[in-house]
Amino acid sequence: MNSESLKKIANTVRGLSIDGVEKANSGHPGLPLGMADVSTVLFNEILRFNPKNPNWFNRDRFVLSGGHGSMLIYSLLHLYGYDIAMDDLKQFRQWKSITPGHPEYRETPGIETTTGPLGQGLANAVGMALAESILAANYNKEGFPVIDHFTYAMAGDGDMQEGVSHEVCSFAGHNKLGKLIVFYDSNDITIDGETELSFSDDTEKRFESYHWDVQKINGHDNDEVLQSIQKAQTITNKPSLIICHTIIGYGSPNKAGSEDSHGSPLGTEEAKLTKENLGISPETFHVPDEVFELTNRAIEAGKAKEDAWTEIFNAYCDKFKESGIELQSLINNDLQDLKIPEFEAGSSMATRASSGKVIEKLAEQFPMLVGGSADLTPSNKTKASIQKVYSPGNKSGTYIHYGVREFGMGGIMNGLALHGGVIPYGGTFFVFSDYMRSAIRMAALMGLRVIYVFTHDSIGLGEDGPTHQPVEHLAALRVIPNLVNIRPMDANETAAAWKIAMDRIDGPTSLVLTRQNLKTVDRKNGGFANSTKTEKGGYVLIEDKDYEVILIGTGSEVEIALNARELLNKKGIKVRMVSMPSTELFDQQTRKYKDSVLPVDKTNRVAVEAGVSQTWFKYVGLKGEIVGLDRFGASAPYETLYKKFGLTAEKVVSTVLTMLKKA
């Protein structure tokens, strides 16, 4: 399409973006005005999509990492035939609208990921490109490139400053993700003012140090934009960065090039002047017929592109039956019923080790289980022997060495899950969940099946000391909505936890696992619950008739509580022992079930967990007690720590006795 026509579309995008922000009286006009040209060229000339089927599996992915510029993408989606009406644009940032302040995955057709927290869109894009490359390497056959698309992302100065951009761009360069193309909206402005207040990186050099291909263009010159993308597409052994020099708030006579255009409406008068300046109609929410005629061509072309792909895909399925069926089930997210191992009682095993054994089984059954670790593979026990390592030379590998990049790993796993066709899991020490916390939150917000393997889950890791000992992390993760945390007490609860995580299609799960050995409870003998019931979150593990005390424990502290029960029994005190690997799952049960486990009239309750107590007041109430650890840990062998910090059967017993005396 000629440059003039493209400018018309871009200016329509600008007009809509201005109007959306003005009407909401809230939002960010600067980015849409600045990046309208680049994104119009991309949508019109390059991007492979079919607006009538936004979930076409082989579509190009597009991520707006600077989610605050959401009116840009809403305007484009509207113009390019997605199911976003003009009325939706008018409802920008309003209750229940499909045009929220920042783009939200699942809320709006064509939105590939939720963005806003800077740097993470970039991480998601890296994950999408990674997923594409793994699937392509595993499933494409000569002449049948059934998985073959690009991933595009737009990032701004903020994205470039965030540390996670370093992690994921270094990762992408190392792994030669050639089909990742990132536009850097370099406009020299941040919220505080000119970028040079805080930022003077030579970004070209920086990305070359990561082994990216870098181009620099004028982001308002359509020819340069088009040519740079075409060139980037030909470079298959490196990701591409296209540095687009742009003017923030482009077109606004008094605010262009200034931070004033970033995060507030232009104002009625300036909006009017801007439209005049751009030579577009002063009418609000206006799209000239001519523009719809122009964009319609791309819509029709998109339909044709999917049809062409479907033809190839059908031929593929005919010719390579087994792969076809497998790939189809991956695309449709049909997970067969996965088998998990059963562990014999009597042995003693760290839950990280039983987790490792479960992973072995799962990887055998589900080929696109994409594992990894942030450089703690031997400690996290995350690699199945069957998994080959993903590397620039072997992109069919399904085990990812993420490097010491926890946050990056979290964001990349979100991208893998968003892309689909793969199920990601990744490991690190539990304490470093802090580094990736925002990515966990985003997985929960988006409802992504991402699985975290968090090992070394308490002071039980011993000598490494308080910097490595999570004490508050269980309580801190339990408050993230839609995240399920499971801290299993033994090998069989670990296996059940993995099953829950794999089956959970609408949110992330964290598995919180020990470094130290734990006995596998004999569920066939001794009065223990004869299945794990982990899926209930909490259940009666064993109990004495006419019990008067309820002990609640999780993970490694169940063993301590069981020992306390024995000691209490000797004193004639009868006990119900509740294993509660997941408070979130327990909370989801019926009132009736919950009351059956923790009867309202049984208020002599003690919770035991080697961490801060905040979680447990909900379950023990004002009359109950908590044997926890409301301080940082220390460096010493773990048996010493448990003793010194009073996380012992004896301490549980004395707590019970004191409580009973009070009651």
From candidates 517, 614, 646, 657, binder to a second copy by CB under 8 A: 614
> Going residue by residue from 116 to 155, which x/- string records binding to a second copy, judged by CB under 8 A?
xxxx------------------------------------
Indicate the residue among 159 and 270 with the shorter CB distance to a second copy. Answer: 159
Q: For 230-288, where are the E strands, in sequence order? A: 240-245
Give the active site residue among 104, 112, 406, 557: 406
**373 beta partners:** 401, 427
Q: DSSP string of 580-615?
A: -S-HHHHHTS-HHHHHHHS-TT---EEEE-SS-SGG
Q: Tokens representing 123?
A: 């991480």
At residue 11's C-alpha, the angle toward residues 10 and 15, to 5°, is 120
Q: Is 479 in the site for a second copy (CB under 8 A)?
A: yes
Q: Which of residues 158-177 bind a second copy (CB under 8 A)?
A: 158-159, 161-167, 170-171, 173-174
Q: Is 215 in the site for a second copy (CB under 8 A)?
A: no
Q: Interacting stretch for a second copy, rule CB under 8 A, among 265-273, 292-300, 429-437, 451-459? A: 429-437
Indicate the residue among 145 and 392 with the shorter CB distance to a second copy. Answer: 392
Burial of 212-251, coded b for 16+ CB within 10 Å and e otherwise, reads bbbbbbebbbbebbbebbeebeeeeebbbbbbbbbbbbbb
Indicate the residue among 200 and 268 with the shorter CB distance to a second copy. Answer: 200
Q: Is 191 in the site for a second copy (CB under 8 A)?
A: yes
Q: Is 621 in the site for a second copy (CB under 8 A)?
A: yes
Q: Is 249 in the site for a second copy (CB under 8 A)?
A: no
Q: Tokens representing 442?
A: 């985003």
What's the chain's length in residues? 663
Tell me how far, at minimum, the Cβ of 272 lies from a second copy, in Å.
Answer: 23
Q: Tokens representing 481?
A: 């909505």
**CB proximity list for 225: less than 8 A, separation 6 or greater:** 37, 38, 41, 42, 217, 219, 242, 244
**CB proximity list for 3: less than 8 A, separation 6 or greater:** 222, 223
Indicate the residue among 95 and 142 with the shorter CB distance to a second copy. Answer: 95
From candidates 6, 79, 480, 486, binder to a second copy by CB under 8 A: 480
From candidates 5, 50, 75, 203, binder to a second copy by CB under 8 A: 203
Q: Is 102 in the site for a second copy (CB under 8 A)?
A: yes
Q: Is 208 in the site for a second copy (CB under 8 A)?
A: yes
Query: Is residue 327 classed as helix, strand or coil in its secondary structure?
Result: helix
Tell me how far, at minimum, the Cβ of 208 lies from a second copy, in Å.
Answer: 6
Q: Is 441 in the site for a second copy (CB under 8 A)?
A: yes
**CB proximity list for 77: less than 8 A, separation 6 or greater:** 51, 84, 108, 109, 110, 111
Q: Which amino acid is at 471?
A: V
Q: DSSP string of 134-161?
A: HHHHHH-BTTB--S---EEEEEEHHHHH
Q: Interacting stretch for a second copy, rule CB under 8 A, among 81-89, 113-121, 329-337, 343-351? A: 113-121
Order of strands across the sheet with 451-455? 399-401, 369-373, 423-429, 451-455, 509-512, 484-486
CA dist 633 and 196 (Å) reads: 42
Order of strands across the sheet with 61-64? 61-64, 151-156, 180-186, 240-245, 213-218
From candidates 22, 88, 104, 306, binder to a second copy by CB under 8 A: 104
Quote the distance between the C-alpha of residue 663 and its chain's center: 46
Q: Is 35 in the site for a second copy (CB under 8 A)?
A: no
Q: Which of residues 571-610 bind a second copy (CB under 8 A)?
A: 603
Q: Is 410 in the site for a second copy (CB under 8 A)?
A: no
Q: Tokens representing 3?
A: 């440059």
Indicate the residue among 482 and 563 with the shorter CB distance to a second copy. Answer: 482
Q: Is 456 in the site for a second copy (CB under 8 A)?
A: no
**539 beta partners:** 579
* 406 given a catalytic annotation: yes
Indicate the residue among 190 and 240 with the shorter CB distance to a second copy. Answer: 190
Tell me how far, at minimum, the Cβ of 245 lies from a second copy, in Å.
Answer: 17
From candidates 254, 403, 548, 654, binder to a second copy by CB under 8 A: 403
The burial of 199, by beta-carbon neighbours within 10 Å (0-12 exposed, 13-18 middle, 19 or more buried), is given as middle
Q: Which of residues 628-657 bind a second copy (CB under 8 A)?
A: 630-632, 634-637, 640-641, 644
Q: Interacting stretch for a second copy, rule CB under 8 A, among 350-358, 448-456, 464-472, 487-495? A: 464-472
Q: Is 481 in the site for a second copy (CB under 8 A)?
A: yes
CA dist 173 and 15 (Å) reads: 37
- With CB under 8 A as the rule, give the number of residues binding a second copy: 111
Q: Is 30 in the site for a second copy (CB under 8 A)?
A: no
From candidates 437, 504, 533, 602, binder to a second copy by CB under 8 A: 437
Q: Which of residues 345-384 bind a second copy (CB under 8 A)?
A: 373, 375-379
R_g of the chain computed on alpha carbons: 28
From candidates 5, 615, 648, 655, binder to a second copy by CB under 8 A: 615
From candidates 234, 346, 622, 661, binder to a second copy by CB under 8 A: 622
Tell me how far, at minimum, the Cβ of 482 lies from a second copy, in Å.
Answer: 7
CA dist 178 and 234 (Å) reads: 9
Residues recognised as catalytic: 406
